[in-house]
Structures are given as C-alpha cells and as structure tokens.
Amino acid sequence: METNYESLISKSCKNIPKSFVREILSVCDKPEFISFAGGLPNPTYFPVEQMKEAFEKIMETDGKATMQYAESQGYYPLRQWICDWYNTKYNMQITPENILITNGSQQALDMTCKLFINSGEPLMMEKPSYLGAIQAFSAYRPEFHQIRLNNSGIDLNELENVVLKTGSRILYGIPNFQNPTGISYNHQTREDLAILLDWYGIMFIEDDPYNEIRFDGESLSPVYALNPLQTIWCGSFSKMVSPGIRAGWVCAPKELMPHLLRIKQAADLHTNNIVQRLIYRFLCDNDPNDHLFKVRQAYKTQKDCMIQAIQQHFPEEISYTDPEGGMFIWATLPSFLNSDKLVQEAIQEKVVFVPGRSFYTTNDGYQNMRLNYSNSSEEMIEEGIKRLGNLIKKAIIREKETKLISQTY
C-alpha cells in the first residue's frame, strides 16, 4: 500500500495554523535584513558571564542531582523564588504549591487549553491576539470568539455579551503590553474584569510574559492578584533572563494543580532540570533588577526611536500605539491598503514586519502591521521605518491614481 501521509494527519494537527513569524524568520534571517517581525529580546543584555558562573556553581555543588530526572512541578527553590519576588511586588500570598514550572510560557498556553477545552467549545480571547496562543489553542479545536481590545483593555461589554450568548467560561488575555498591540488594560478594566470573572464563573488565562519590561507609567496589579481563584497567571523567564532557556511558569489555584501536573507529566515529564537550577542560581547570586534596569532602558530608547521615526517617515493616515512596555507597536494603514501585499514589497527592500492577519481568528487584520523594536539598533530602526514609510507612500499614491483613473473612465 503506498503511503498517503495526509490521510493519517489528525484534525487537531490540521487545525494548527502556520506561524508567519517562524516562516518568515527562515527567509529573512540574514544580516542584510532589517527585521521588525520577530519578538526577539535584545541579546546585548543577555547575562552570559553570570550564567557561566552560575552553571559552574550548580555543577560543583550539585552536579549529579542537576543531571537526574526531577519533580514534575518544578524545582522547589525556584518556585519559592517566584513566590517571594511577586508576593513582595504585588502584596500577594502565593506559595510554591501554586506554581508549576513550564517549558516556556508557550507550554503554559498549550497546557491550560488542554486542561479546559473540549473540541467545539467556546474560547474567548482579545481581538487581535497573540499568534502563538492561536496556534497552541487551535490544536484543541475550540470555537474562537475574539473580543475587541480598546485603549483601556478588553471591551467588557462585548465580553459579557459573548459570555451570555455562548456560555463560554474560558478567557485568554495579555493585560500588560499586549502582543501584538502593545496595549495595557488600565486599573479600572482589571478591577471590573476581576468582578466579572466571579459573576459568571469565568477562568482567566492571564498571559504576562512582559511583566518585567515596563519602561513607562505605573506598575499595575495582575488580574491574578485581584481574583486568584478565577485566574491562571502565566509568567516567563524569557524576557527576565533569556528566551533560549525556555522556562516559564503557571501560577494557579491549588485545586487545579493535580490536573496540571498530570498534563505536564504526560507532555514531557518535567521541565529541564539543569536550566531550572541554573536560573535559580543566577537569580540568587545577581540582583535581577540590575539586569532588568538595563533592558528597560534600552527598550524605552528603542521604542522612542521607532515612534519618532514613524512620526517622521510614515504618512499621516497611519495610526499607531505607543506602549509603556513590552516589545511591539501596532500600526494601522488606511482601509484601501493591504499589509499582506505591503510585506511582500518590504521583503524586496530587505525590511520585514508581521502583517496583521496572523493575529485574528476571523478574516481581519488586512490593515495592520506589528512592529517589533526590541531587537534592532537605533540606526536600523530609523532606516527600516524610512523604507517602510516610502513603500506606504508609494502604495497610497498608486491606490489614489488607480481610483482617479477608474473614476475618470
């Protein structure tokens, strides 16, 4: 019998969309390209020396235990460290029993969806939303409901309508410096959401990978701190230490932990033991704030630089967000332009961004561009935005001429 692989592929797998970012990275990962497409932290600030020292220490004091199988829930001292850090920051009372260490916060998304969603059931998220979440969740074939994101955060009226209409009890969102928009929920939205979660019995999957890279404005409580019984809070060391380490965590109500543990065991037994101990050692021997201070300062400079370049080079018709942290600016083109087309032209000019469509489960986003500023120098930002601005201006002139011609005839 000849092999027909397609006939063997599951509905789950077929439902997972490709990642534009990962596809494009393989094309544009060349030094001559200016990339605003990735979500890569700036490697200048990776603490290479400190990690070397930390590794030496753990191998000297505890080498064999470091290389052995370990607890599924994660390295206890690291879980304790997370509690101490955030209990201080937000005046909370979380304990290591609330924490499970994951293989990056992407795994936390996969796990929470596996925990809650039966195929065909409703799942709510922001509109637009993180494409990695759309990918992870798609494997479980939910019925997606995207809910408008305003400048103050998720639209709670629309949320309530969707809950009443669909009976959905699972909501995914990124309250801090959302990916892709850079928008943050304000304090009022967080408080109102916390009340709504109780009222309708909704579980909120609060994705918070950019928590530590706020460079402007006041730090705001995670929704978890306002309603710890109805929230699963997902954090990451990707931005705090480095993304190549693939370490994150979920902070969840204790009642859910036995379920999350079974899911973790089934998925990969436990998160890399070496890396968990390495991070813990690094965090004990260094003040993470020293490292974070540099990162925040650099990202603010890069963000400011991109905003300035946009103001200078983009035509007036383009609107854009101005985030207080995180790594992304979200720009909106006039309705007669198309970012899928624009990105093709941009690649010819050796500059690349992510067109908006990847962030929608609906047929939307044709006017949007996600621009990452964290992994480009000021010179590259200035040059890349200039090239994009020229392309947009040309496209606008072209469209207006076409319209004029079609009106003339």
Contacts of 159 (CB under 8 A, 6+ apart): 124, 147, 171, 193, 196
Contacts of 334 (CB under 8 A, 6+ apart): 317, 318, 367, 396
| Residue 65 near a second copy by CB under 8 A | yes
Across the strands, what pairs with 148?
127
Distance from C-alpha of 70 to C-alpha of 98, rounded to nearest angstrom: 18
| Residue 120 near a second copy by CB under 8 A | no
Considering only 105-113, 288-296, 342-350, 365-373, which stretch makes contact with a second copy by CB under 8 A? 105-113
Q: Which residues within the stretch 205-234 sit at the binding site for a second copy (CB under 8 A)?
A: 229-230
Taking the CB of residue 9, how many other CB atoms lie within 10 A of it? 9
Considering only 217-225, 269-277, 312-320, 336-344, which stretch makes contact with a second copy by CB under 8 A? 269-277
| Residue 92 near a second copy by CB under 8 A | no
The SS3 call for residue 194 is helix
Q: Which of 81, 116, 185, 314 touches a second copy by CB under 8 A?
A: 116
| Half-sphere exposure in the Cβ direction for 187 (13 Å, CA) | 5
Considering only 43-51, 288-296, 380-388, 389-397, which stretch makes contact with a second copy by CB under 8 A? 43-51
The crossing angle, in degrees rounded to 10, of helices 76-90 and 273-285 is 50
Q: Which of 35, 98, 129, 135 touches a second copy by CB under 8 A?
A: 135
Q: Which is nearer to a second copy, 12 or 150 (CB)?
A: 12
Sign of CA dihedral 101, 107, 109, 113: negative
| Residue 84 near a second copy by CB under 8 A | no
Least distance CB 245 / a second copy (angstroms): 6
Considering only 98-106, 208-216, 317-325, 379-387, which stretch makes contact with a second copy by CB under 8 A? 98-106
State the number of binding residues for a second copy (CB under 8 A): 92
Q: Which residues within the stretch 151-210 sit at the binding site for a second copy (CB under 8 A)?
A: 169-170, 198-201, 203
Q: Which residues within the stretch 302-341 sit at the binding site for a second copy (CB under 8 A)?
A: none
Listed residue (60, 175, 64, 67) closest to 129, CA to CA:
175
